[in-house]
Every structure is written in structure tokens, then in C-alpha cells.
Structure 1
Amino acid sequence: MTTPDQPRTPLAGVERALVIGLGASGAAAARALRDAGVAVTMVDDRPDHPAAAELADSGIEVALGVAPVQRVDGADLVVPSPGVPEHAPVLVRADQLDVPVWSEPELGARLFPRRLLAVTGTNGKTSTTELLAAMLRAGGLDARTCGNIGVPFTAAAAEAPADAVLVAELSSFQLRFVQQLRPEVGVLLNLAADHLDWHPSLAAYGEAKARLWHAQQPGDWAVANARDPLTRQLAERLAPAGRAHFDGAGAVDGHGVGVRDGALVADTPAFHGRVVALDELPLDAPHHRANVAAAAAAALLAGVPADAVAGAARAYHPGRHRLELVAELDGVRYVDDSKATNVHAAAAALHSAPSIVWVAGGLAKGVDLSALAADLGAVRHAVLIGTAAEELAGVCAGAGVPAQIADSIEDAVVAAARQARPGDTVLLAPACASFDQFAGYAERGERFAAAVQALRPTTAPEGGHGGEA
């Protein structure tokens, strides 16, 4: 296993730093820089923020309601929040002045080198990160999840003992601005059109993700999805170290973990053979099998014994709002997959049941939703919400799927219940972000679940119980 070498002077030449955004990752970056003796200015274009007073009292200059571009001049380093796109004026100005731009994980990796395994991709990042950490713990390691899951990377790295292993979920926003962050195993799960309001193109989005492997060295591993041509191509073109693959439905060529004879089977330098039977996994869904295969490949490549990997895979249950069964009423299953915030994730969910009443919609984030037309074969009816409702209605019409628009998630649940027949699944798989109507995907899922619980078991389908919708 590799251990990153700490640069002797990780902040050489950095006397003044500009941190953009007062969120959790920005605060973690600012505190770490302050503790390293750097003069820190934090800016946020919002006129107030609940964390501002505490940060200011701790010796950090806080400027609210200020355009960040006004503070670039004189800075030796810029650390942007994930919400700041690369075309933002502040980052354009930093580039003009040759001021380095590091994401918060890049800063943490430089200041606090730790053993690191990292996961990115369009979908499945959180589940795979959790699975991988559970496998490492089962193997006796002190594994700590961080990044987009729980604690900011820099805070986790600062607090972790030297022998801990960080397991980081990283976004394309964070990876776009890394140079020295070096995971000994970096997993790219999949790649599909998403966040094209932030990245200029799908190609740029993919290359940002692939920076996960940029600083890897001999002995490190890049793990890519064998069934996703884009991730395979990125690994072949950009991964400088060893390459392995995972496949939740078939065998893999070379190193990695795939499926053969009803089981996950591994071929890695340390282990070759059967890992765990598919029917022993707690969730029988294609995307979950793929996540387990990806996590198993990473864990085995990191030296975890196969029996520990198998035990953790058997014990793991996906988190909230991920194909979560909310209730079964009058023979209809109500499933919350609110975390399906993009086309790729929703498409996977739409193949999880044979007959679906689909609840979808929200903020499309600049993504073309028409690709979903090919995945509506199991959908009998759609109930649509949010700013993308009209666009999704057009997608449904093109696929011959009846659809209606509801004003709220509560109205959508009632409408879906009226359309549903015994044997159907009412599936919340929005294919969109939630921020047009909710604080986040979790609130959307909770309100869906509450609306389901408010249904009376005798809610009758249109045309009578069991009749034609």
C-alpha cells in the first residue's frame, strides 16, 4: 500500500488566501489556513450568514455581500466553494493573475497527508463510499468517510490519526481544482450528462472527474466501470498507474471484480476467486450490484481480505432516499429514490420494477431530459412537478406515456395513488435537482414519504379499485 509523502512546504509562498463561500467546506479550509499562519479572507455574496460571526471572532476576515472578484488582487491562493464554476469572474481573474486555485480537498491533501481512497462518478458515489469504508473497517482499518459525505475533507484529514485511511466522496467541482491529491485507489463509477450548467461540456465534465487519477504514481490503482465506455476511455487515456475494472453484471478482463456464476468474482494481485454470492446482498438491484463490485475492487486492491469484503457487503444497507421502500398500500409499493437527481440515476431506477407510476421533475440543471424516453418502458403513467415538468411531459408524450402535472409533491402522491393498480410501484425518481421547491433531495424524499403515509389504504384507483386507469 502506498503512503503519500508530505511536501516539506505545502504552503510555500502563500501568505494571504481568499476562501469563497462560508459553507462547511469553506469554513474547514479557512480554519486550516489560519492555523497554518496564513492571513485568510472569506467572502460570500450573501449579505448575511449564520457562521460569519464565529469565523470572524476566530481571526478570519469575513466580507459579506461582496463580489469575490473584488478580493482576488493581493491573494496568493484562492479556495472556491464547489458552487463556483470555473468560468466565474473570480476564477477568470485568478487565472489572469496566475493565482493558484485549489479545491478544499486539494488543500487538505497538501496540509494533512493521509492514506486515501476516493470515489467519484455521476451516480452511486455515496453508497459506494460507505460500502468501501465498511469493507476497510471490516478488515481492521480505521476508515473515515469524508468529502461530500459528512465531514469536509480538510477537517477529516486534520482530525484523523496518522494511520487512518480517508475514504472520500469527491465531486467534479472539487476534482477540477486538484493537482497533488493522490488516492492510492481512485474509483470512477460512471459518467453521464450532469452539471452542464457548471462544466462547459460533457468532455470537460469527464476530464474533471478523471483528475482523481492525476497525481497517482506506480503502485496506485485507477478503477473504472467496465460497462461505461466513457470511464474506460478516460482511464486508458489519463490514468498514469495501474488500471482495474468492475462490472455488476458480467465478467471483467484483467484486474478487477465482475460477476460469474451468480457471484462477485475478483482478479487482483492479492486475491483471485469468489467474493460473495449475489443472492446474499441485501438489495437485488443492478445499480447496487455495480456499487458493491466497485467497492470490493477498491478494497481488495487496498489489501483488505476477501472475507472482510464479503462480510461488509452482506451487512450493508443503502442509505435513505435510495430506492427506499416507504410503504405498501393496497398492493402498491411506494418507493423513494429522491437521490436520483439526474437522468442517469433516474434511468437506473426506472428499470427496478415491472410496472411503474413515475413521480418526477424539479430543476434540470441545463441537462437534456429527452434521453429518458428510452427508459420509460415500464412506466404506465407519470406525475410531474417542478420547473422541468413541461419538458418531462414532452418526453413522456414522445414515448407514448400518459402524464399529468401536479403543483406539489403532496398533490403528486395523491394523483399517483389514484393511477396505481395492485402490482404497481409508485416511484419517486425525479431525474432533476430539488432546489426549485425543496431545501435538498432529503426534504423532497421526506415529504414524499409523509404524503404516502397520509394516504388511506382504501385510496381507490381512477375507474375503481383494480380498474383501468
Structure 2
Amino acid sequence: MSRTADGPAPLEGIDRALVVGLGASGMAAASALRAAGISVLVVDDRDDHPGAAVLADLGAEVALGAVAVDRLDDVDLVVPSPGVPEHAPVLRAAAERDLPVWSEPELGGRLHPRRLLAVTGTNGKTSVTELLGAMLRTAGLDARTCGNIGTPFTEAAAEAPHDAVLVAELSSFQLRFVHRLRPEVGVLLNLADDHLDWHADAAAYGAAKARIWIAQQPGDWAVANASDATTLALADRFAPAGRATFDGTGAVSGIGVGVVGGALVAATPGFGGRLLRVDELTSDAPHHVANVAAAAAAALLAGVDAGAVADAARAFHPGAHRLELVAERDGVRFVDDSKATNVHAAAAALRSAPSIVWIAGGLAKGVDLSALASELTAVRHAVLIGTAASELAEVCAGVGVPAEGADSMEEAVAAAVAVARPGDTVLLAPACASFDQFSGYAQRGERFAAAVRALDTDPTSSGRGEPR
């Protein structure tokens, strides 16, 4: 077995592991376990997967089309892929047998300890992870973003030199099964109902997110959202380390980063004072300012120079499919926020423009969409897609917003164009996951953008339609 600088074997007592699922996380976990000399059985309910041959070449046993719960004999550890819900039969059976269950980041953290900064939350975690990584790199550090963004945690940890810093985006799925993973700074951005088809209920979802702090020790930092009472309460309940907060609209009390007089202002042990003006950022949208405040708080608490934090914040552009302006046509703006895969994110997007033609829908993930009713004040018309279309139609009807259905993204864009008028924003903010119609939110956003751009090349397009 491999050993770490801490001395003891990180997988002591584990001779055989069951990896459930052959996605990116499962592949990374199985490869790392084999490299550590552990016997590995990988189970996937699909009948075919290109990764099976790769793992077989590494000496892993691969059982395609098998039922994981039937393969727990002679297993010392279970590593589930993120898609395996906590109520899955294999995980219930593992608990009954007192078998340890680790997520792939937990495994990677044990095998390859590195400096770690971690980010979670219902919304914004990808942007904040990218921002935080950029701040560290601007300061000259070798920062590797990983986890739920790009490279699997275990793979990134194995490849990173010992003086590197991992900046990990961690989902509730991954955090549910961490035990010793210890970020020196752990950020919980916000919390709203999401993934209730995976977690038992909203309380279980929140408790899973709060596990980002479970292994912290004195000298570490737990960062919570000063404007989100739920994250503050979770920090009070779960975080054993120092506390800090961030706020994108106002000042913070105590340690953290907030907004005062149109500027981001920090109060941290290493730096206190103004970082930069809000109007120096590439966007002054409230969610972006909050993201910058969160990343800045984490970076400063990790010892990054304030100048590097400010320089990186000024240069940072939010990623694709996050309130991204695709085109402006006949006085109508077309904005892609396909990353708004839940109610909380869609609500923020719906506050971003004064007059909206809204394209929404997809897979609701067990979440009650009725909370959106109060957010539709700027919506003139809705075009609804996917399996949640009927539920969203009821929400719209309840507040008097006209709505129609569409069978494809191309039909949805055409319907939106037909009712849009100068001054409107045609906004893709689905409030739902994409997997009922698309491979992911990125493909959904790309289809939206392609349909918008095709309007100017389609000879049958008559331009902006009349309101109806």
C-alpha cells in the first residue's frame, strides 16, 4: 500500500474495495486504488462502457450489468460515484454491514494529502472555485482546480507536487461521504432546495454540504454567507474552526469580506482595508460581486497577497452559460443562464432584467418549483420545455404569466422571438437539470445560442414577431 508523509498507510485494513459506477470519479477512484495495491471490483449497471477495458488492464475486476448490492461479500470499502444516491440499496447494505463508505475526494485526500481549499453551495461554486484558483495563481502559487470541476480530485491530488494547492469544487454528493478530508479554508456559498431526489430531505442536503467543515481543526477557516441564514446556522452547528463571512451587498461583522461604499472591503488577520471598487469588476451583477467576495475571503485567509486577489478579481470573466449575453437583435437581448439548474439560481437570473421572455424547464430533481411564483414579476411570457413544463405552467398560471410549451430548444427560441419586443430579454434560466433532453447544461446552452444565432441566417426568419 502507498504511504503518505504522515506516516501510516492511508488504506490500512483495506484489502478489497468496491467502486460503484464507471463515470469519471469511478475511473479515478478505481485507478488510484489499484495504484495503491488494493484489489478492486468495479460494478456498473450499464452493459457496456469504454472504461471497462482500461480498468481491466490495471488489474481491476469489472462487472458490467451487475447489481452492486449483490457484490458486497469480501469487501472492506465502498466508493460510490456521485450519481449513487445515499438511499441506494448498496449504501444501505454497506451501512448494515458497517462497511466504510468514502467518496472519491475522501479517497484522494487520504492517498495524497495536499494543501486544500474547498468550495460548495447550491449555486456559484464553479465560478468561485475558478476565481479562487486564479487568485492563488496570480500570487505565484501552483493552484490546481479540481473535484466537481474538470479533473477528478484523486487524479489532481496524485499529479500535483507536494507544494501545490488544490482548489476543489465539492458537491453535496461528494461531501456526504467525506470523513477526514480537511480543507484549510472551506466555503459554503448558499443553500436552497436542490437534489432532493438524491438526499432524503432538505435537512440531509444541508448537512451533507456542511461536511465540508467536518475535519477542520484550529487554525482552519469556515467561510459562510452573511446574507444566507441557513449557511450561518450550519456553520454554528458544524464548523469547529475559525469563522468568517462574505457579503456581496453589505458590510460584514467580524472577519471576512463585504461591500462598503461601492468597494469590496476586507477584514482578515493578514489584511484589512479596501480591495477594489465594485465598478472595477467585469460584472456588477449581485451574484458576481458575492462570488468575488467569497473567493477573496478564502484567498486572504489562505495567506494570498491582497494585491493578487484584487488583480485576479479585475481580470476574471464568469464562465460560459452563466448569464452570458449571446446576442442582441432588434432591441432584444438573448441571455444564456443554462447553468441555472435549480430554483435558487433561476430566481437570481429572473432579477437580472426588467422585462423577460423566459425559457425554462427540464428535470426538476424532486424540487418544488412553486417557490418561483414570487420571482416572475418581470416575466411577460414563458416558453416551457422538458418534463417539468406542466408543473411550471401551473406556477405561471397562478400568477397570471402567459405560458406555452415547446418540444425542442429550437422551437422554444422561435416561440420566444415571436412574442419578444424591444427592451425584452429572452432568458434561458431553466430552474431544472438538463438530462431529460440534453447531455448537460452546457449542451443545453449551446443549443440555445445556436438557435439564436441561426435567426440571422435563416431566410424564413421574419425578424422580431408581433406580441400575441
Q: TM-score range by the shorter chain?
A: over 0.9
User: Who is 1:224 aligned against?
Assistant: 224
User: Who is 2:150 aligned against?
Assistant: 150
User: Who is 2:208 aligned against?
Assistant: 208
**Structure 2 counterparts to residues 262-273 of structure 1, below 5 A:** 262-273=262-273
**C-alpha contact 1:18 1:78 (8 A) present in aligned 2:** yes
**C-alpha contact 2:115 2:163 (8 A) present in aligned 1:** yes
- Aligned counterparts of 2:201 and 2:270: Cα–Cα separation in 1: 39
User: Who is 1:420 aligned against?
Assistant: 420
User: Who is 1:350 aligned against?
Assistant: 350
Superposed CA RMSD: 1.1
Offset at 1:50? 1.2
Offset at 1:459? 3.9
Offset at 1:6? 3.2
- Aligned counterparts of 2:420 and 2:17: Cα–Cα separation in 1: 56
Offset at 1:462? 4.2
1:258 aligns with 2:258: yes
**C-alpha contact 2:123 2:344 (8 A) present in aligned 1:** yes
**Structure 2 counterparts to residues 18-29 of structure 1, below 5 A:** 18-29=18-29
**Could you list the runs of 4 or more consecutive aligned residues of structure 1 that deviate by over 2 angstroms after TM superposition?**
4-7, 456-463
Output the amino acid matched with 2:419.
Q
Offset at 1:460? 4.2
User: Who is 2:112 aligned against?
Assistant: 112
- Aligned counterparts of 2:82 and 2:238: Cα–Cα separation in 1: 23
Output the amino acid matched with 2:209.
K
Q: How many residues were matched structurally?
A: 462
- Aligned counterparts of 1:326 and 1:372: Cα–Cα separation in 2: 24
- Aligned counterparts of 1:237 and 1:5: Cα–Cα separation in 2: 32
- Aligned counterparts of 1:116 and 1:26: Cα–Cα separation in 2: 21
Give the alignment's TM-score, normalised by structure 2.
Answer: 0.97
**C-alpha contact 1:417 1:459 (8 A) present in aligned 2:** no
- Aligned counterparts of 1:9 and 1:268: Cα–Cα separation in 2: 37
Output the amino acid matched with 1:94.
A
Q: Matched residue of 1:252: which SS?
A: coil
**C-alpha contact 1:360 1:430 (8 A) present in aligned 2:** yes
1:40 aligns with 2:37: no
- Aligned counterparts of 2:6 and 2:226: Cα–Cα separation in 1: 33
- Aligned counterparts of 2:141 and 2:444: Cα–Cα separation in 1: 35
* CA shift digits 1:15-35 (9 cap, x unpaired): 000001111111111111111
- Aligned counterparts of 2:291 and 2:115: Cα–Cα separation in 1: 22
1:136 aligns with 2:136: yes
Output the amino acid matched with 1:293.
A
- Aligned counterparts of 1:48 and 1:174: Cα–Cα separation in 2: 25
**C-alpha contact 2:330 2:464 (8 A) present in aligned 1:** no
Q: Matched residue of 2:149: which SS?
A: coil
* CA shift digits 1:226-263 (9 cap, x unpaired): 01110000001110010000000000111000000001
**C-alpha contact 2:213 2:222 (8 A) present in aligned 1:** yes
- Aligned counterparts of 1:277 and 1:354: Cα–Cα separation in 2: 25
1:102 aligns with 2:138: no
Structure 2: where are the runs of 5+ without partners? none
1:370 aligns with 2:356: no
- Aligned counterparts of 1:253 and 1:459: Cα–Cα separation in 2: 55
Q: Matched residue of 1:166: which SS?
A: strand
Output the amino acid matched with 1:103.
S
- Aligned counterparts of 2:32 and 2:6: Cα–Cα separation in 1: 16
Offset at 1:7? 5.7
- Aligned counterparts of 2:303 and 2:189: Cα–Cα separation in 1: 20
Output the amino acid matched with 2:163.
D
* CA shift digits 1:378-417 (9 cap, x unpaired): 1111110011001101101111111111111100000101
- Aligned counterparts of 1:407 and 1:324: Cα–Cα separation in 2: 23
User: Who is 1:184 aligned against?
Assistant: 184
**C-alpha contact 1:6 1:110 (8 A) present in aligned 2:** no
- Aligned counterparts of 2:419 and 2:92: Cα–Cα separation in 1: 51
**C-alpha contact 2:358 2:382 (8 A) present in aligned 1:** yes
- Aligned counterparts of 2:134 and 2:87: Cα–Cα separation in 1: 38
- Aligned counterparts of 1:84 and 1:288: Cα–Cα separation in 2: 32
* CA shift digits 1:195-248 (9 cap, x unpaired): 000101111100000000000000000000001110000001110010000000
* CA shift digits 1:307-364 (9 cap, x unpaired): 1000000000011111111111111110100010000000000011111100000000
**Structure 2 counterparts to residues 66-81 of structure 1, below 5 A:** 66-81=66-81
* % identical equivalent positions: 76
Structure 1: where are the runs of 5+ without partners? none
**C-alpha contact 1:338 1:445 (8 A) present in aligned 2:** yes
- Aligned counterparts of 1:155 and 1:162: Cα–Cα separation in 2: 14
User: Who is 1:322 aligned against?
Assistant: 322
**C-alpha contact 2:417 2:465 (8 A) present in aligned 1:** no
Output the amino acid matched with 1:312.
A
Offset at 1:54? 1.4
- Aligned counterparts of 1:410 and 1:42: Cα–Cα separation in 2: 40
Cα gap change, 1:5 to 1:228, in 2 (>3 Å)? farther
Cα gap change, 1:173 to 1:394, in 2 (>3 Å)? same
- Aligned counterparts of 1:264 and 1:380: Cα–Cα separation in 2: 35
User: Who is 2:453 aligned against?
Assistant: 453
Q: Matched residue of 1:62: which SS?
A: strand
Give the alignment's TM-score, normalised by structure 1.
Answer: 0.97
Output the amino acid matched with 1:220.
D
- Aligned counterparts of 2:285 and 2:412: Cα–Cα separation in 1: 25
